[in-house]
Amino acid sequence: MPKVRITDVSLRDGSHPVFHQFTLDQIVRIAGALDAAGVPVLEVAHGDGLAGSSIQYGFSKVPDLELIEAAAATIKQAKLAVLLLPGIGTIHDLKEAHKRGAKMARIATHCTEADISAQHIAAAKELGMETVGFLMMSHMLEPDALAAQAKLMESYGADLIYVVDSAGAQTMDMVHDRVTALRQALDAKTHVGFHAHNNLGLGVGNAVTAVKAGADNIDGACRGLGAGAGNAATEAIVATFNKMGWETGIDLYGVMDVAEDIIGGELGVTPIVNRPSLVLGYAGVYSSFLRHAENASKRFGVPAFKILEEVGRRKAVGGQEDLIIECAIELAAAQGAPAPELAAV
């Protein structure tokens, strides 16, 4: 019977649909409830990782380090994780997060750029943190090439390496092939994980496929609270894994309460597969681009899904959010809209 460790990312990836406006009270109550339900790992940070609060990605209501410290003071059994994207967050940010109680560092790079994670993985290991390599937009790389990137992260000291479907663009066959390639290429002691987005409606199915292919770490978010159409829902993952006889150690009804009462009830957020989010998966676009495209749509009078189609055609990746505005302006001009007045910087 497989034993699968679940990381709940509601308080990091879930920052995107709430525009990074989590309050300290919300962090404390959600983290406390997930901890009480037996969720073994909780991730807390700005949606774009440590130091993501900026004009480029959106400003947080409360600084990362305060959110991390509040969560760390609340939880009793869960391990607290943070996400860091080299080029956004720094080793200094990682050290500060560790001081506030973070025990796991998830170092995220584009799937072809594992080499930029070496210093950050090494720093996390020196701090005594469990260290995770996070290969984003992994649909853009063939399985063997992805496995080669994972081997680099392993050589830097990563304990666990994730196939990350940042665009929610992978079918179950794609997930199977990529997770299998990592499992076959990596040392037996190196764990393999999978992070799903639900843009094609395949989040939970892809999580099941990943476990069957050898992953023993799976990400979820309560009520699917995450970028795009959301992540695979933690409560649905737990229910499905229970029915399959797979052990998670999580109280299903406890995570259902968080999903229903706090996220759905109090926050009033339920990510769904709609036209713009479906285009994310279909065109292979970074899920966090959705809110930026919606804002550009209102500003320039161009449908969000059209903007995302064009961004996908250009094969934009995380960090290229400026292309969203560029595409919106060009599409608006093509449909005869007057040139927008851009605010002076």
Q: Which residues are catalytic?
A: 16
**264 vs 145: CA distance, rounded Å:** 40
Look up residue 29 and give its amino acid: R
> 102: which residues sit within 8 A by CB, 6+ positions away?
44, 68, 72, 80, 81, 82, 94, 129
The answer to whether the CB of 222 falls within 8 A of the CB of 8 is: yes
Q: How far apart are CA 290 and CA 307, in angstroms?
A: 10
Residues 6 or more apart whose Cβ sits within 8 Å of residue 109: 85, 86, 116, 117, 133, 134, 135, 136
C-beta separation of 20 from 231 below 8 A: no
Query: CB neighbours (10 Å) of residue 115?
Result: 12
Beta bridge mates, 3 = 247
Write phi, then psi, for 218 (nearest 5 degrees).
-135, 135
CB distance 164 to 108 below 8 Å: yes
Residue tagged 């608006």 (tokens): 332
Closest to 40 in 3D by CA, of 27, 31, 51, 53: 31
